[in-house]
Amino acid sequence: MSGSPSSSSAEVPTDLEARAIATARILTMDAVQKAGNGHPGTAMALAPVAHHLFQHVMVHDPNDPHWIGRDRFILSLGHSSLTLYLQLFLCGYGLEMDDIKQLRQWGSLTPGHPEWQHTAGVETTTGPLGQGIGNGVGMALAARHERYLLDPTATNSIFDHRIWVLASDGDIEEGVSAEASSFAGRQELGLLNVIYDDNQITIDGPSSLSLSEDVAGRYLAYGWHVQTVDRAANGDVDLPAFAAACEAATLETAKPSLIVLKTTIAWPAPSAQNTSASHGSALGADEIAATKVVLGFDPEQHFAIDDDVLTHTRQAMVRGAQIHNEWNQARAEWETAHPEQAALLARLESGELPANWSASLPTFEIGTQVATRKASGAVINALAGQLPELWGGSADLGESNNTHIKGADHSMPATPAGANIAFGIREHAMGSIMNGIALHGRSKVFGGTFLVFSDYMRPAVRLAGLMGLPVTYVWTHDSIGVGEDGPTHQPIEHLAALRAIPNLNVIRPADANETAAAWQLALTSESTPTALILTRQDVPVLDRSGATTTNDASDPLTKGAYTISPADNPELILMATGSEVTLALQAQEALKKQGVAASVVSMPCVEIFREQPQAYRDEVLPPSVRARVSIEAGITPPWREFVGDGGRSIGIDHYGASANGSTLYREFGITVEAVVEQALAARDQN
């Protein structure tokens, strides 16, 4: 079902098709000129490429942008957004000429860079270069996984579809693309096709200023199928040669494909072509008029399109409806032959989890000692059998992160439905691949590494928050409790830095049972990524039976913060996260012996706590109790929000050292004695 919708893909374009390509170039210039800014040059050069893909190569249905049988198109060079927007307009995805005229304007459907869930037909938010390649790798991995999960014995399956990525010099130069491309080669992702726009121009000048390697040779070394297509004699895209390369890439199923496509930026603008200036600036009225003359258009007309051109390009809607209908018929036959898999697909499409799935969450005995990373691993393994959509791995730290699903295969070419992903030591690519898996849909994906290395993932994490992708990060070794590995491996500023990312729930559970509740929250999240911040060291499983929350049946962790150990008429509030909750409880007992009443608040997720009604927040942190102490093994300034002017914060505002964890906590003053001292000082101050 993944074949091309046209059998004439290698033919020279008709006059009408040539007019459609020229129209895309004209509209590019006009739109950027009207906006006053934008990126015209690349969109002009790539107009034939995008036209050929959307009209002749890709299986897609503009009437239903969410059809699961479609090919995916990723514009990794998101700055060239008109390359995509114009095809969405021409094919009939819902954009109209007024939307093209509103490029980069407030409230428009055509923002400066493509945004997922904002514009129909946009498969991922792109702009930070290299991320689109990583997303494409994730989509290809997810497509293969889903295909063999649902239809493992078919030679040709309705779930076979291709991922097409259009990339630039900048994408190729970014390190994340190298990580992801290496991974794709090892995985033999034959449904992945990357087109590299090799125009030899960057903002600062010729790409030779910063890029000299043999990119084709590098991708051959990765294990890719590589083709190079030179320019036509006039400097334009050699469309017949490109069409033949697309056909060859489509026939290749054992390796990912790279097409190195030589282009001329801003072709055929007489003065602007092959210049750095055309990358990110409007061409100007005179150059636009001259280019329109070259292309046979009236230089006095703006945003012009012939009716027969639009009628021709919108035949994509007719073809899409036809192939979609054929696919639906094939799906009906598949459902009859595979009722169990069909029921699974129906559930996955609905987004629902199995009934009573949470009953399988493990519970941990109060008083036992369990590292929260180990508790997380127990949760993953308890749920894996019930949730075939749950899969993931780590950046070569499975044994340390406890992310390995026991008894399951690795997702590899020989075992494509395997639930364990060997991302390798590629944290950044892991983040962007996870985003691609989530974007593909119908998966609950997780990825792990040490918390300190979340820095390597941050651009992909930010994009997950921006897009609202419900991925789960398993970040372990969460503090100076890492111990002897020393300051390079001890996170200090990381919790605060991650909490600064909008739409990311950062959860640092106090014990094993909070960890299970955190996983439940992560797996039911629909539009927010979740970061699980977990200990290397054992921590006691706490008695939470006396916790005060609202009267619903949910775990108190779901409120973001709760009073885990209340006191009558408290003089003080001790608030903590993670392993430091135990420290707060010990300090509470020490204060009690001195006749001082203190309540202890566990605050595993400040983001969720902020979302609670003011009445609940005042219940947990009564405004009348100004004597407050926060305890967290990280930087202290952000805690001012909760401790207020009358409170104190215990943490670590400098780098760590190499010693065992208990020594470091003692030497850096994160102790019961320090908590008691600061608590009494806060009480006396207020």
- How many CA atoms are closer than 13 Å to the CA of 460, on its beta-carbon side? 37
**Cα(506)–Cα(478) distance, rounded to whole angstroms?**
12
φ, ψ for residue 393, nearest 5 deg: -175, -150
**Cα(215)–Cα(44) distance, rounded to whole angstroms?**
24
For tokens 């914060």, name the residue. 649
φ, ψ for residue 222, nearest 5 deg: -70, -15
Sign for the CA dihedral angle at 207, 211, 217, 221 comes to negative
Residues 75 and 42 sit within 8 Å (Cβ to Cβ): no
Query: Measuring CA to CA, which residue among 478, 435, 427 is closest to residue 183?
Result: 427
The structure tokens listed for 558 are 């779901």
Q: What amino acid positions are annotated as catalytic residues?
A: 427
The structure tokens listed for 39 are 């990126």
**Cα(163)–Cα(60) distance, rounded to whole angstroms?**
11
DSSP-H helix ranges across 338-371: 339-350
Q: Which residues contact 366 (CB under 8 A, 6 or more apart)?
A: 541, 542, 543
φ, ψ for residue 630, nearest 5 deg: -100, 145
Query: Measuring CA to CA, which residue among 164, 92, 183, 112 is closest to residue 411?
Result: 183
Angle, in degrees to the nearest 10, between helices 315-337 and 81-91: 80
Q: Which residues contact 180 (CB under 8 A, 6 or more apart)?
A: 130, 133, 134, 136, 137, 426, 429, 432, 433
87, amino acid identity: Q
H or E element in which residue 312 lies? helix 307-313
Q: Which residues contact 14 (CB under 8 A, 6 or more apart)?
A: none
Neighbours of 360 (CB within 10 A): 14
The structure tokens listed for 413 are 């070419």
Pairing of strands 201-202, 205-206: antiparallel
The structure tokens listed for 196 are 């590299």
92, amino acid identity: G
Q: Which residues contact 282 (CB under 8 A, 6 or more apart)?
A: 29, 32, 33, 35, 36, 37, 38, 40
664, amino acid identity: L
Could you tell me the maximum CA-CA distance found in the chain, to the nearest angstrom? Answer: 91
